[in-house]
Structure 1
């Protein structure tokens, strides 16, 4: 069977496909955990290293800069060398970034670590998504994608809950980053086992393709209709609000509301937790009743009172955070599928 032509080989057994999914999802766990290691120590960076909020913000901006600069090139690397090699490459860089970030209190070294994470983490997500398409096309593709995202969200939740399960580590700024660096090694572990499983499968089974690559035509950017650009503007505005807030939320809860660090982390975890549970349910609801534009408007209106409640009242923190979690579930559940309705399939 080993030397049989690809057309004559059987498909991989179901258990084999789900084993592959488990290990590439493990890489996603480490990826998402590494991103969220800064928020729980933001106040410690200020107290122990005299970092300003601007410097803490730069730790996130350097990630974004790396992602923006490298994401297109990362896609080219995936197309050129395949998902197996790309996942390994980006997984290794992700893991290295965690150790660079925790190695020194020098802001320049930490910025380098976060930059390395940005230029590898986002392409790693693309590579893993392409790998799932390769292994599950024509099978349980949507469900497999959902499981992969579920595991990734657990990485975010684990980071937010780390002040609870690793309370002793939060006596200084560095130990939580050390924990994050070692958990980031799951990117390499997952990529390595995926490499072995796929290499073995290539000789025994008929594998799918990740999909054909369309030619990039920059002029097409100016041919999208007005509705597409409205969705794009909403996407930019929405995530520009959510991600900076999550970056500073734990610090804000501690300083402005005198919350315990563990409780502040648990509150911050409500957003990814809500997305895990509510987003697919909202998607099912919207598929049944429609009203996409109306429900997106409702989601944006829910956001309006959230930050005044947090900033100017002493209302229980659960109320605005739950509202934010609802919006965080509602808007993406409608926004992303809406693109399929307003953009031609070939584009």
Structure 2
């Protein structure tokens, strides 16, 4: 009886093997199930028997077939760059709307019948709240909402705020316009924090510096487009009267760009969910949860980054805001030339930031680039303060230095804090930057009125020099702790590969051959084990009484 069963079982095995070498079995329509699997070695589709250890064998090379995800596959190389397009347009509307008061200053003052001090509140009510709000926005992204839902929320605030501004203009209610700018400010800076989180999430360890440069370019393009088209747009509504209704129509036009940003936030949510579903990314995130108390535990290197950020940006943005009269008074240029000079920094940064970002990606050495950019900017302010060299020279150099610093500085945060604290860290960085800009903008105006532009340039030189000192101190602190922040690109690539290899080894299941319960770990398989392993791969159930049966009866071998 045993011999008959054995021959029958071997016949079934041979038939299965013949099917594998010949015409492959084709499953009937509707007969496929989750238990089916394609064996790459035989090319045949076999339905394993329940309980069969198929797929558990450590030597089986063929894994489960990935599902067909269509044209939008997050595992493709181009998917990250498609994400970058939507990430860049995510903040386009916010940057476009932010500088509307600058583009329509005289028109706003005339249409709403306000003076310069009242007009300045349109910027003040944006900046001051963000000293606190964008920090809590980063905390909400890390702890409560996540980057995708956080982006939708803050893009919604941007659109709502601009809509309230438009309603206030159409209703001739300046206080309502101010309320709209306040609402807009709640979302604007926090949306920038979400953008930074998205960039680090998709490009950390790859083209991070270049992508930060591209993001900076889009922000400057948004501001530049606004400054160039909003005045013609306002004039195109000249048939609408009175003047405040004309202003309201222009504000509704600007709200369309905020709607574009909100649409990008929704698309990014869809793409994030698709990525989680296809590549089985951990949607729960890290087990570590961010806490507001984490701020006091931020490392010294992060606090030095905050000082660099504040010291540098207060020497650039307030300077550009006050440079019109400075160029006209010191260099005796006309208004058109003065406007051209002040716009050079933004124009250069829009074009040069991606190039410098790629250069930083290829070379690494972020701190070296930061030190060079801050030192060069100090030299530009010193030239404008104490020499009469053509103003195009220092302002063009400042534009390139500003591009380098933005590409090299902001990615360093992702090297200092863990990923679950990125939103909080970037939010705090935005907060201290807004605090510095708000204080210095008001203080610079007082300084000009009392002491003139020479002392203003000396003040800006001191601010940027402070960022140089903080950069050098950060380089010393980093060098004492291993030089991670100023490592070369080759070193970072090697360390990332070693870290990934260690993670794969830690996550891999232990091999059966490494189990201490086995006697001789290098013992060859017996003929019986080879036969059983072959039948197991074919998905054929082995009766218990045959699992140790020899290949042939001893009587047949005599």
TM-score (norm 1): 0.75
1:58 aligns with 2:88: no
Deviations 1:37-58 (A, max 9, x none): 1111112223333332222222
1:100 and 1:113 in contact (8 A); partners too:
yes
Shift of 1:62: 1.0
**1:207-246 matches, cutoff 5 A:** 207=281, 216-220=293-297, 224=300, 232=306, 235-246=309-320
Q: How many pairs were matched up?
A: 333
1:296 aligns with 2:296: no
In our comparison, the structure showing a higher alpha carbon Rg is 2
Relative to structure 1, the CA distance from residue 159 to residue 121 in structure 2 (aligned partners, 3 Å threshold; closer, same or farther) is same
Shift of 1:30: 1.2
Separation in 1 of the partners of 2:326 and 2:260?
Answer: 30
Equivalent position of 2:272 in the other structure: 198
1:72 aligns with 2:135: yes
2:384 and 2:391 in contact (8 A); partners too:
no
Relative to structure 1, the CA distance from residue 44 to residue 250 in structure 2 (aligned partners, 3 Å threshold; closer, same or farther) is farther
2:129 and 2:186 in contact (8 A); partners too:
yes
SS at match of 1:51: coil
1:39 and 1:246 in contact (8 A); partners too:
no
Equivalent position of 1:85 in the other structure: 149
Equivalent position of 1:275 in the other structure: 349
Separation in 2 of the partners of 1:72 and 1:46?
Answer: 32
Separation in 1 of the partners of 2:167 and 2:325?
Answer: 22
> Any stretches of 5+ residues in structure 2 without a counterpart?
1-33, 35-63, 68-73, 413-470, 486-558
Relative to structure 1, the CA distance from residue 340 to residue 96 in structure 2 (aligned partners, 3 Å threshold; closer, same or farther) is farther
> Any stretches of 5+ residues in structure 1 without a counterpart?
none
Shift of 1:63: 0.9
Relative to structure 1, the CA distance from residue 104 to residue 135 in structure 2 (aligned partners, 3 Å threshold; closer, same or farther) is same
SS at match of 2:264: helix
Deviations 1:213-256 (A, max 9, x none): 655444447x748x965x755643543353345557789999x9
Equivalent position of 1:23 in the other structure: 86
Larger RCO, structure (CA 8 Å, separation 6 or more): 1
Equivalent position of 2:161 in the other structure: 97
Deviations 1:155-177 (A, max 9, x none): 12211222576473486644443
Separation in 1 of the partners of 2:196 and 2:405?
Answer: 22
1:37 and 1:176 in contact (8 A); partners too:
no
TM-score (norm 2): 0.49
SS at match of 1:206: coil
**1:30-179 matches, cutoff 5 A:** 30-79=93-142, 80-105=144-169, 106-163=173-230, 166=233, 168-169=235-236, 173-179=247-253
1:101 and 1:112 in contact (8 A); partners too:
yes
User: Would you tell me which structure has more helix in proportion to its own residues?
Assistant: 1
Separation in 1 of the partners of 2:110 and 2:334?
Answer: 16
Relative to structure 1, the CA distance from residue 288 to residue 333 in structure 2 (aligned partners, 3 Å threshold; closer, same or farther) is closer
